[in-house]
A and B are shown apart, each in its own frame.
Chain A
Amino acid sequence: MTHRIRPRSARQLFRFAVRSADDIRRDVDEEFAFHLDMRVEDLMSRGLAESDARAQAEREFGDRARGLRLCAQEGATVERQRSVRRLLSEARQDVTFGARLFSRSPTFSTVAILTLALAIGGNTAIFSLVNALALKPLPVRAPGEIVRVYTGESHTSWLDYQDIAVRSEVFTDVAAHSNTAHALITDNSSVRLGGETTSTNYLAMLGVPAQLGRIYLPSDTRVDVVVLAERSWRTRFGSDPSIVGRRIALSGRQYEILGVMPRGFRGARPPGFVSEFWTPIDPAVSGHSMLDRGRPSFQVVARLAPGVSAAQAQAATQVIAGQLAADYPRPGDRLLRTEVFQIDSVAGFRGVTRTLAPLFAFVGVLTIVAGLVLLVGCANIAGLLLGRGAARRREVGVRLALGAERGRLIRQLLTESLLLALVGGGAGILLAFWLTGSFNALVGRLPVAIELDLTLDRRMFVYTLVLSCLTAVLCGLAPARSATRLSVIPALKDVDPMPRHQRMRSWLVVGQVGLSCALLLWGGLFVRSLAQSHRIDLGFDPADVLLGTFQFNENATKSGAILPLLDNLRERTRGLPGVANQALAKIVPLAFMGREEMRMRTGTDPTDQPGRWVLVNRVGPEWFQTVRIPVQAGRDFDAGDRAGSPRVVIVNETLARQFWGGDALGKRLDGAEVVGVVRDSKYWTLGETTRPTVYTVYQQRPESEVTLFLRTSDMAGTAKALRAEAARLDPTMFVDVRPMKDAVAASLIPAQAGAAVVSAFGTLGACLAMMGIYGLVAFTVAQRTREIGIRKAVGATTRDIVTLMAAGTAIPVGIGLATGLALGGLGAMALRSYFVGVSPMDPLTLTVTTLLVVGSTVAASTLPALRAARVDPLKALKIE
């Protein structure tokens, strides 16, 4: 007789012999009745009549209904305590039992824990990125109160800022800051530092004290002071503890070091952005732009007054903006659009999303990929557990036969997988720790200062813990259910062929092959696109171009004092041996060194519309020739285009096509005449689709950071000469000299990172899948040893047996391959913008992926099948 025990729901997993409230009340009632009967008997034995005895007993008893109710309440408490105690003691039993079991099969445990560590660790590492980008609060005092105040597009002029600060009552404090860069000149070298110049209350408003020295305060009148970030203190000054009070030269001016901020402090900037120093706004440096309401060059942040919401602050600021627009009329109505939003949330990314969007998307891709690897890992562990379940059938059978509840057994098996997952998760955290370290090392190679706070925090531990528990259920529940769903008698006899396990394993293989197929496909596409990226047409030619980047002080720039200096420099370098062309430009394309975007109006009337977004570079005469961007129509800038001459611009073909259907010459952009059209070229990333780009004349609006491009046949000689010339003109001038090829190489880093990470995950997934397939075939072979023995005894050859055993995997592998390729293809379409120069349906990648999967599965299934074929028929038949 087979007795199948088949509970209906997961609730029964935790079902105990818990008595219901009714049971408890019945018990109390019975207890009371017993008492009364005994008392009546007692009294009657002393000679009382039965009715009198009962009356007295009931009198002595008191309020029976109330007693019943109160006793039942206490009884329920007792019952609860009892079940908790039981659960705990059973859990302790399970853990001890599981630990003993795992220590007895070290191979299984090691494989399972390593698999889980890789899968969970990968996810934790990716989560640390999400955590740093979107979840960790801004490291300032009460970050929830800090808001960004946008007027117009984002920036506010100094005078408007001051009026807002004075008039508004919704903020406790309002501060202004603006990005700036300085050349730090020390005895033997100069480096570029990116930082912020701020109103004197900025640091005090954020409320973070200096770790060394002090911050500047609104009461400070000196402006020649600087507060260093921990990062620059460490990397530029060797963490010198006596640095406070020292004087340093920034872009030729002397500053006194006031203090050093603690590690991780980044002002009010979004995650990832780093400031290396803070200085008070100095009218002598930026005075030029401070008196003009038409120059919105500061960002405004504020701390909300207690009880004021961002929405209320926005309404109040809107009113002030209206007053300012009325008091000081200006072209356009940009000031009227105000926005006030909290910085300490995803909303804080407003305004930088365009820059960070690729990073967010990349993190999204990584999250999905890591999730898939975790699934493959789970499938593997599930397969291993199924195998163990089969090996433990006798144990389970015995326990069921002895009256163990199935829920209890499932709980025990789940505890075992939880144990595995927790140990794996712990190892995963260590792995994540190492991975995040190498991520920051990779980011450190970028020319821009990016720093993400990837340190482990409580949130990450919770995430890993939850993930581990989920993993345990995901990979443990089905095998546990299957292991306990057995017929007791055959299990004891050890003869059940268990077709269910077989089917589940086949589905696992489908899943594993499919997922790893998709992962390999994406990894392959990333690798291919990395290889292709060397062949991409950049639209310009960086070979043989030398860059010299200069950093000037802002006032000298705005007043135009640097132009004669630059002219002088150009005169001197023009005659250098080997130099064919040379020109100035603000932005080096593809170097991540800067990016300018603005709205430009296409009409002649400057107030008609908000304008359309365009990318901007400011270039001098001869620049297109220097970097070999062909001028398709009109003319290049020339010496006649200078400060004071009519404003002219050159546009790229995409802009000409999108704005005017191709014929751009003579049209106007923000009032400037279009005098030329040049070929499209890459601006920010290799994979970007070309966007409308405008080139303005550098000399008509100079910038403090400018690069001299030199096309030369003698890089080394020209570099040396350039440094010498710069030093001769002004010994305090900062110049950073490097080949354009090196600068452009930065654009390859995202593709390299993508290729490395995704192919690593793909390989990992594929290895796991191979282990899964190996396990499946090995398991089948073990199950069918007797059958193999019989077949061999009646004359089957080794080849027959191998074919027979391996053929079982052909169908699941086939289904998995087809599904994986289809899903991978769909995913690749979605990732298309990351693949440079490679179609998402790249035939080579598809073929290689298929061959890899088929080859590895054949290998994985042949090995155990071969072993099966060597089975000695006599031995196989004797096994019992």
Chain B
Amino acid sequence: MSLTPTLSLLQGTADLLILRALQGGAAHGYAISRWVRERTDGALAIEDAALYQALHRLEARGWIDAEWGLSENNRRAKYYALTAAGRQQVRSEISIWKKYAAAVFKVIEPA
């Protein structure tokens, strides 16, 4: 087994990733963690403890709602879903990120 080198996360990126993950519908924490790992091919690793902190923080801000439900294998699991405010938030964060990334690219790869 080989350890993939991972990029450490920029501040606030975890929030964006979680919100983006939930755009596909309600999910429990493990599913979000797996989604992130798969989408980034393991290049972006969020430490799971940090992921859960971010989930609870987002819930306190009112961007996501939580509800206990049953998992695929019939275990009690906490499901998270975007609230209306949360949906708004993903859209604006994604557009900010795009602008930010474009600006950085312009600097490091001048056309």
Which residues on A are within 8 Å of B, measured CB to CB? 27-28, 30-32, 34-35, 37-39, 42, 48, 60-64, 66-67, 70-71, 74-75, 77-78, 81
Whole-angstrom CA separation of A64 from B48 in the bound complex: 9
Tell whether, in the assembled complex, residue B60 and residue A35 are in contact, meaning their CB atoms are under 8 Å apart: no
Tell whether, in the assembled complex, residue B48 and residue A61 are in contact, meaning their CB atoms are under 8 Å apart: yes
Chain B residue nearest to A42 (CB atoms) is B34
Sample 17 A-B pairs with CB under 8 A, ordered by A number. A31-B78, A34-B76, A34-B77, A34-B78, A35-B52, A39-B33, A42-B34, A60-B47, A62-B48, A67-B48, A67-B49, A67-B53, A71-B56, A74-B56, A74-B57, A75-B56, A81-B62
Judged by DSSP, the binding face of B is helix
Whole-angstrom CA separation of A31 from B71 in the bound complex: 12
Interface flag for B75 (CB, 8 Å): yes
Tell whether, in the assembled complex, residue B48 and residue A78 are in contact, meaning their CB atoms are under 8 Å apart: no
Tell whether, in the assembled complex, residue B33 and residue A35 are in contact, meaning their CB atoms are under 8 Å apart: yes
Whole-angstrom CA separation of A75 from B52 in the bound complex: 11
Q: Which residues of A contact B34 (CB under 8 A)?
A: 42
Q: Which residues of A contact B57 (CB under 8 A)?
A: 74
Interface flag for B105 (CB, 8 Å): no
Tell whether, in the assembled complex, residue B77 and residue A63 are in contact, meaning their CB atoms are under 8 Å apart: no
Q: Which residues of B contact A77 (CB under 8 A)?
A: 60
Q: Which residues of B contact A35 (CB under 8 A)?
A: 29-30, 33, 48, 52
B30-56 CB mask vs A (1 if < 8 Å, else 0) is: 100110000000000101111011011
Q: Which residues of B contact A74 (CB under 8 A)?
A: 53, 56-57, 59-60
Q: Which residues of B contact A60 (CB under 8 A)?
A: 45, 47-48
Determine which of A28, A67, A78, A81 lies in contact with B50 in the assembled complex, contact meaning CB atoms within 8 Å: A67
Tell whether, in the assembled complex, residue A27 and residue B78 are in contact, meaning their CB atoms are under 8 Å apart: yes
Tell whether, in the assembled complex, residue A62 and residue B30 are in contact, meaning their CB atoms are under 8 Å apart: no
Q: Which residues of A contact B30 (CB under 8 A)?
A: 34-35, 38-39
Q: Which residues of A contact B20 (CB under 8 A)?
A: none
Tell whether, in the assembled complex, residue A63 and residue B49 are in contact, meaning their CB atoms are under 8 Å apart: yes
Tell whether, in the assembled complex, residue A81 and residue B60 are in contact, meaning their CB atoms are under 8 Å apart: yes
Q: Which residues of A contact B52 (CB under 8 A)?
A: 28, 31-32, 35, 67, 71
Chain A residue nearest to B29 (CB atoms) is A35
Q: Which residues of A contact B49 (CB under 8 A)?
A: 61-64, 66-67
Give 15 A-B pairs besides A34-B78, A35-B33, A74-B56 with Cβ atoms closer than 8 angstroms.
A27-B78, A28-B56, A30-B76, A31-B78, A32-B52, A34-B75, A35-B29, A35-B52, A39-B48, A48-B1, A61-B48, A70-B56, A74-B60, A75-B59, A78-B56
Q: Which of B1-42 contact A (CB under 8 A)?
A: 1, 28-30, 33-34
Whole-angstrom CA separation of A28 from B62 in the bound complex: 18
Q: Which residues of B contact A64 (CB under 8 A)?
A: 49
Top-6 shortest CB links A-B: A67-B49, A74-B56, A62-B47, A62-B49, A61-B48, A77-B60
A68 to chain B, nearest CB (A): 8
Judged by DSSP, the binding face of A is helix
Q: Which residues of B contact A78 (CB under 8 A)?
A: 56, 59-60, 66
Whole-angstrom CA separation of A288 from B60 in the bound complex: 80
B59-82 CB mask vs A (1 if < 8 Å, else 0) is: 110100010000100011110000
Q: Which residues of B contact A48 (CB under 8 A)?
A: 1
A34 to chain B, nearest CB (A): 5
Tell whether, in the assembled complex, residue B47 and residue A61 are in contact, meaning their CB atoms are under 8 Å apart: yes
Q: Which residues of A contact B56 (CB under 8 A)?
A: 28, 70-71, 74-75, 78
Q: Which residues of A contact B77 (CB under 8 A)?
A: 31, 34
Whole-angstrom CA separation of A70 from B54 in the bound complex: 10
Determine which of B28, B47, B62 lies in contact with A34 in the assembled complex, contact meaning CB atoms within 8 Å: B28
B80 to chain A, nearest CB (A): 10
Whole-angstrom CA separation of A319 from B24 in the bound complex: 85
Chain A residue nearest to B33 (CB atoms) is A35
Chain B residue nearest to A61 (CB atoms) is B48
A737 to chain B, nearest CB (A): 80
Give the one of B34, B47, B49, B59 with max A CB within 10 A.
Answer: B49
B46 to chain A, nearest CB (A): 9
Whole-angstrom CA separation of A71 from B75 in the bound complex: 21
Whole-angstrom CA separation of A64 from B52 in the bound complex: 10
Q: Which residues of A contact B59 (CB under 8 A)?
A: 74-75, 78
B31 to chain A, nearest CB (A): 9
Q: Which residues of A contact B48 (CB under 8 A)?
A: 35, 39, 60-62, 67
Chain B residue nearest to A56 (CB atoms) is B1
Whole-angstrom CA separation of A34 from B72 in the bound complex: 12
Tell whether, in the assembled complex, residue B50 and residue A62 are in contact, meaning their CB atoms are under 8 Å apart: yes
Q: Which residues of B contact A42 (CB under 8 A)?
A: 34
Q: Which residues of A contact B78 (CB under 8 A)?
A: 27, 31, 34
Q: Which residues of A contact B45 (CB under 8 A)?
A: 60
B109 to chain A, nearest CB (A): 33
Whole-angstrom CA separation of A81 from B48 in the bound complex: 26
Give the one of A70, A75, A81 with max B CB within 10 A.
Answer: A70
Q: Which residues of B contact A27 (CB under 8 A)?
A: 78
Tell whether, in the assembled complex, residue B47 and residue A31 are in contact, meaning their CB atoms are under 8 Å apart: no
Whole-angstrom CA separation of A70 from B48 in the bound complex: 13
Whole-angstrom CA separation of A69 from B77 in the bound complex: 19
Whole-angstrom CA separation of A37 from B28 in the bound complex: 13
Q: Which residues of A contact B53 (CB under 8 A)?
A: 67, 70-71, 74
Q: Which residues of A contact B29 (CB under 8 A)?
A: 31, 34-35
Q: Which residues of A contact B1 (CB under 8 A)?
A: 48
Chain A residue nearest to B57 (CB atoms) is A74
B60 to chain A, nearest CB (A): 4
Whole-angstrom CA separation of A32 from B47 in the bound complex: 13
Whole-angstrom CA separation of A467 from B56 in the bound complex: 42
B84 to chain A, nearest CB (A): 15
Whole-angstrom CA separation of A63 from B50 in the bound complex: 9
Whole-angstrom CA separation of A63 from B28 in the bound complex: 20
A79 to chain B, nearest CB (A): 10
Give the one of B28, B56, B60, B66 with max A CB within 10 A.
Answer: B56
Chain B residue nearest to A67 (CB atoms) is B49
B28 to chain A, nearest CB (A): 7
B21 to chain A, nearest CB (A): 14
Whole-angstrom CA separation of A71 from B33 in the bound complex: 16
Give the one of B33, B48, B60, B62 with max A CB within 10 A.
Answer: B48
B83 to chain A, nearest CB (A): 12
Chain A residue nearest to B47 (CB atoms) is A62
Chain A residue nearest to B37 (CB atoms) is A60
Q: Which residues of B contact A81 (CB under 8 A)?
A: 60, 62
B15 to chain A, nearest CB (A): 13
Q: Which residues of A contact B60 (CB under 8 A)?
A: 74, 77-78, 81
